[in-house]
Each structure stands twice: as C-alpha cells, then as structure tokens.
Amino acid sequence: MSTNGPRTIPALTQLPRPLYARAERLDAGSWTTRHRHDWVQFSYAISGVLGVYTSTGSYFAPPQWGVWIPAGTEHEVVTSMQAEMRSLYVRSDACPWAVAQCRVLEVTPLARELIKQFCTFTVDYPQGDSVEARLVAVLLDQLRGLPEVGFSLPLPRHPGLLALCNGLIAAPDQPQTLQQWAAQLSLSEKTLMRLFQRETGLSFRNWRQRMRLLSSLALLEVGESVTQAALGCGYDSTSAYIAAFKQLFGATPGELRL
C-alpha cells in the first residue's frame, strides 16, 4: 500500500495473535497523527528513512535499522522522502523483556529474513506447535537481542532548551555558538552546558553533531552529493563530516547512500 499525507492508523482494539505485521510503501510527506496503543511497535525501513517523534526525543531509522516503540508511548511516524516500511506489533505479554523506552535497533540479516517470512503469514496464523508459531518464537528471540545504535536525538523538557533544540532541528546549518545561545537564554555558558547535559544526557556539542548527522540522511536520500549534504547540515569540511558520519553510522555517506 502506498501512502501520501496523513496515514490511516489500523483500527485495532487488540492483536489477533502475539505478533502482527504491517507492510507499507510511503510517499514523501507521509505522517501519522500522534497516537498510542497497548502493544509494542517495531518499525524498520527497507528503504528510505523513518522518523519517530515522541515527547522525549526523536528517533531515526535509515535502511535496515528499526525503531522500537514501547506500549503506551505516544508517537508519530514521519517520512520526509519515499520509504518502504515493515512494522511488527507485539503483544506486551509476548515480550516481557522489553525495556520501557524507545530505541533504534540494527536489524540483523537473520531477523530481516524472519520478518520477511512472517509478513507472508495470514493474520490468524496457526498457533500451538505449528511451523508459524515456532518461527514467531524465534523471531521474538531475535528481536530481543538486536543491538542498539545511537540514532536517537533526546529532547530536553526545559522550555528554553526545547525551543533552542527545535530551532536547530529546523535549521541544522545555523552557525550560532554556544555562547550566543547562552546569552539568548540569559544563562552562562557553564550553566547552559550543565543544564543541557542533565536534560538530554549529551553535551551540547555532541547533541548538535548527532542532530546534524541525522538531518543529513534526508539530503543523501534525495541524491545530494556528500559535499552538499555536509554543507546543508552545517559542516564546513567534507572530510570532517565523513569522519563524524562513519563514527555514528559505522559507514561512510557513500556506503550508506540509498
């Protein structure tokens, strides 16, 4: 199914089985309204970049990574460019090991093949000692062990810092310095650094670097050159951008290009 604009959220009051799959092809500008549900959601991008936004942070999944959304977490899913998505809905009693926070996870080759096969099952797949139920058990076990990666962008609750962060996300190439931001908030640089670390768990410098690198994914996705992506997200040096990109994503922009 291909979607552009607001996406329809499945009208489910409960899951028919411990695991439920949904496959979608999303056009640029697809999004959901903020919502929550009683089950865990794991959405990963076969192509394109998924953005999941919550009150506490933003989470980005380039191809072959996915976002784990705990049950009861209010969220919206946005794709700025075309994307193909696979979503798994998991009953809470089927994953008692799940942590109560959003995370970005690497989808291993085995997990990817298991998800692909599961998506061919009927919604009311056989339970008990069936081939389908055994595959579901293995898939859940694989989901439990997927490695976490640092593609999240925590947001502060402090109103002044939140406004600062939202402004930077909207224009990642802004050249303002920490000193200028501190003056705008009527804080000393030291106080701003301490407050930012306490609110986000990251230093201001590390947060802005991560934000810029994550924002560059959409530029690469639409075919911008590595140099254009570097400049568009606020880097003056292409080599510095490539080095920082590889440190975060484990690959160069060229290797991760969609």
Please state, for a pLDDT cut of 70, what percent of the chain lies above it: 94
Which one has a higher pLDDT value, 56 or 113? 113
pLDDT for 61: 85
Question: How sure is the predictor about 56, in pLDDT bands with cuts at 50, 70 and 90?
Answer: confident
Which residue, 158, 172, 256, is CA-closest to 208? Answer: 172
Indicate if 34 and 129 belong to the same structural domain. Answer: yes
pLDDT tens digits along 72-111? 999 988 876 677 889 999 999 999 999 888 999 999 999 9
Q: Which residue range is the domain that position 105 belongs to?
A: 2-149
The segment with the largest mean pLDDT, out of 29-43, 49-63, 78-92, 108-122, is 108-122
Indicate if 182 and 119 belong to the same structural domain. Answer: no
Indicate if 136 and 164 belong to the same structural domain. Answer: no
Give the residue from 120, 149, 178 where a domain finishes. Answer: 149
Which one has a higher pLDDT value, 166 or 208? 208
Indicate if 175 and 119 belong to the same structural domain. Answer: no
The total number of structural domains in the chain stands at 2
CATH code of residue 47? 2.60.120.280
Give the residue from 149, 168, 185 where a domain finishes. Answer: 149
Indicate if 93 and 204 belong to the same structural domain. Answer: no
Indicate if 37 and 87 belong to the same structural domain. Answer: yes
pTM: 0.79
Question: How sure is the predictor about 178, in pLDDT bands with cuts at 50, 70 and 90?
Answer: confident
pLDDT for 6: 62
Indicate if 171 and 104 belong to the same structural domain. Answer: no
Question: How sure is the predictor about 5, in pLDDT bands with cuts at 50, 70 and 90?
Answer: low
Give the residue from 132, 149, 166 where a domain finishes. Answer: 149
Indicate if 119 and 168 belong to the same structural domain. Answer: no
pLDDT tens digits along 212-227? 999 898 788 778 899 9
Average pLDDT, stretch 136-143? 96
Please state, for a pLDDT cut of 90, what percent of the chain lies above it: 54
